[in-house]
Structure 1
Amino acid sequence: MKKNVLLLETIADDALTILEEHVNVLTGYDEASLIEVLKNPEIHAVITRGKGQIDKALMEACPALLIAARCGVGLDNVDVQEATNRNIMVINAPGSNAATIAEHSLSLMLMLMRNMYESVSQVKQDNWNWRNQYAGDELNGKTLGILGMGNIGKRVAKLGEAFGMNVLYWSRSPQDLPYTYLSMNEVLQQSDVVSLHLPFTKETGTIIGEEQLALMKPNSLLINTARGALIDHEALLKALNDKKISGFAADVLPEEPPVPGFPILHHLRALVTPHSGSLTASTYRQMCVLTVKNVVAVLKGETHDAKSIFNYKALKERV
């Protein structure tokens, strides 16, 4: 008998086709439809992307739940501890967004360093003479400091190196890499560009606040394509206003979508994209297909990618 899988959000067409071939697909894209679907006690897996919450309440409403899955890497919207307590397998797609987030990070660096956004904006307003007051610089020869050297951090380091940057990094422990490992404070002090590539957890918390911003060079840039809550945005706004740092660019914010008038969005030395770094056609499909294939494999008792299992407790007898 086919297992029942609940989708909290839409997924890529190719992934949906795979899912529909092997399981019964139920959808709960809004509150009303979710309430209706949850009347079915036999939901064996829940799949979300970035918004749908797989929390304690949902798990309690699905007593037969075997899998909590996210088509993506971060697990902010999945209560991993609760899933572990309930012997529910957590599946994600590690590494699937490394290339695209690294590209996005470099794009933000380039736009900010070269003042590209303002240049394009002025030309679109027919102000070619903007070139007479243009002020910008280049990445070549600058020092890139990376906080967090996972899959994305390593990719950003390679791209930065290709642009002629000197790479420094901090992570929880030094790794066998051709880059200089320093303390976080030393990375902040010595870097021209600081790029964040850390998860937000109870252990990391907010790692960039007033104290850390004060360590950075006045002409330095801060880039965040990881998690918005890693930065104290009140301290960041003050640092920008007081010219303690030169610029900020991000694809993530502490609250998404932000409240209207969120100050950073309108700051002259800040660039923010709407958490779109992973939404390229290739990566979106890859994240969804990888996750769905592993969900199906586990439900059918077939071989799955062990790297995609965030936590695992013996479920063989339940599947």
Structure 2
Amino acid sequence: MTIKKNVLLLETIAEEALVMLQDQVNVLTGYDSISLQKAIDKYTINAIITRGKGQINKALLDACPALQAVARCGVGLDNIDVHEATARNISIIHAPASNASTIAEHTLALMLMLTRNLYESIQQVKNNNWNWRNQYNGDELHGKTLGIIGLGNIGQRVAKLADAFGMNVIYSSRSTKDVPYRQVTQTELLQQADIVSLHLPYTTVIGTLLGAQELNLMKTTALLINTARGALIDHEALVKALNTNSLAGFAADVLPEEPPKHPNALVDHRHTLITPHSGSLTATTYRHMCVYTISNVLALLRDEKPESRSVYNLSALQRQA
């Protein structure tokens, strides 16, 4: 069934999801400022869809007064002004928990790479330096204490994988979870963990989670992993900790600014591994996030009820905080 509605895409989406959308609505693209302005000037926009970079801010909401929905083919909503959209009774659609498995896998991959110094070993072999094995310096996950800050869907997946590796898992969270892992304060976690992994959103309530004071609590042999949000860490303090050997290593899939300015002290540091925010871009997860989000946007535009968990409820989350 074709709906006489106009949907604006700020970024590309999976082919299957795009076909679903084109089959039912008029699809417009605003991948750059020129095409975006042209679409807004010429059409009445009923829904806007983005992924991780296209910004749905107050200015764009002002320019599209007929909006019924804004959506992100993903989990976090950092690039959508959820307060402004909620105030205007615009539905916010996303794909919660859709990336839990793939981000957990990516986290363990970074953990293994960093702990075992695999990247350096691979590069040395590619340079035909097999004598590298005589100076190899790495360790294993088994027996190490993993401290997880934020034990939501992703954090719990990471905990299960780490448990399978024989790690001792502890966690800090605003609420107690029904899990077989020991809950501690964040201070205790930072002091006890051999590896710390972040799995919580960046919000104005949480803000910068780890600054110089928090980093100084960690063991000098500890590793820090961030596959959540780059702004959770004070990166100036992080570089200083790495430079003074008060932290052994850092791996991340997220940075406060992406891509960062080049050269970059953190990206270029010999004790860091940074991937280009690609943790959710596996073929399976990317397709699922896009198809799920689009199907629920289309349901809303047909005046049907989207799946309840796909609709972001700001007021409910504020009551829980």
**TM-score over 0.5 (shorter chain):** yes
Deviations 1:281-303 (A, max 9, x none): 11111110010000001111223
Structure 2: unaligned runs, 5 residues or longer: 316-321
Deviations 1:40-77 (A, max 9, x none): 35211000001111000111110100101000011110
Identity %: 64
Structure 1: unaligned runs, 5 residues or longer: 314-319
Partner of 2:174: 172
Aligned partner letter, 2:98:
S
> 2:215–2:238: 8 Å Cα contact kept in structure 1?
yes
Aligned partner letter, 2:12:
T
Q: Distance in 1 between matches of 2:211 and 2:35?
A: 41
> 2:253–2:277: 8 Å Cα contact kept in structure 1?
yes
- What's the TM-score, normalizing by structure 2? 0.96
Q: Distance in 2 between matches of 1:278 and 1:162?
A: 22
Q: Distance in 2 between matches of 1:240 and 1:130?
A: 23
Q: Distance in 1 between matches of 2:151 and 2:307?
A: 22
Give 3-state SS (helix, strand or coil) of 1:68's partner. strand
> 2:96–2:310: 8 Å Cα contact kept in structure 1?
yes
Q: Is residue 304 of structure 2 the alignment partner of residue 302 of structure 1?
A: yes
Q: Distance in 1 between matches of 2:266 and 2:224?
A: 13
The residue correspondences of 1:44-55 to structure 2 (distance < 5 A) are: 44-55=46-57
> 1:145–1:191: 8 Å Cα contact kept in structure 2?
yes
How far 1:79 moved relative to its partner? 0.2
> 2:151–2:173: 8 Å Cα contact kept in structure 1?
yes
> 1:89–1:312: 8 Å Cα contact kept in structure 2?
no
Partner of 2:152: 150
Structure 1: 4+ residue segments shifted above 4 A: none
Alignment: residue pair count: 313
Q: Distance in 2 between matches of 1:128 and 1:113?
A: 20
How far 1:214 moved relative to its partner? 0.7
Q: Distance in 1 between matches of 2:303 and 2:182?
A: 44
Partner of 1:205: 207
How far 1:239 moved relative to its partner? 0.7
Q: Is residue 139 of structure 2 the alignment partner of residue 137 of structure 1?
A: yes
Q: Is residue 29 of structure 2 the alignment partner of residue 27 of structure 1?
A: yes
Partner of 2:318: none
Aligned partner letter, 2:267:
L
How far 1:4 moved relative to its partner? 1.0
**RMSD of the TM alignment (CA)?**
1.1
Partner of 2:231: 229
> 2:72–2:95: 8 Å Cα contact kept in structure 1?
yes
Partner of 2:129: 127
- What's the TM-score, normalizing by structure 1? 0.96
Give 3-state SS (helix, strand or coil) of 2:78's partner. coil
Q: Distance in 2 between matches of 1:28 and 1:255?
A: 22
How far 1:132 moved relative to its partner? 0.1
How far 1:311 moved relative to its partner? 2.5
Partner of 2:44: 42
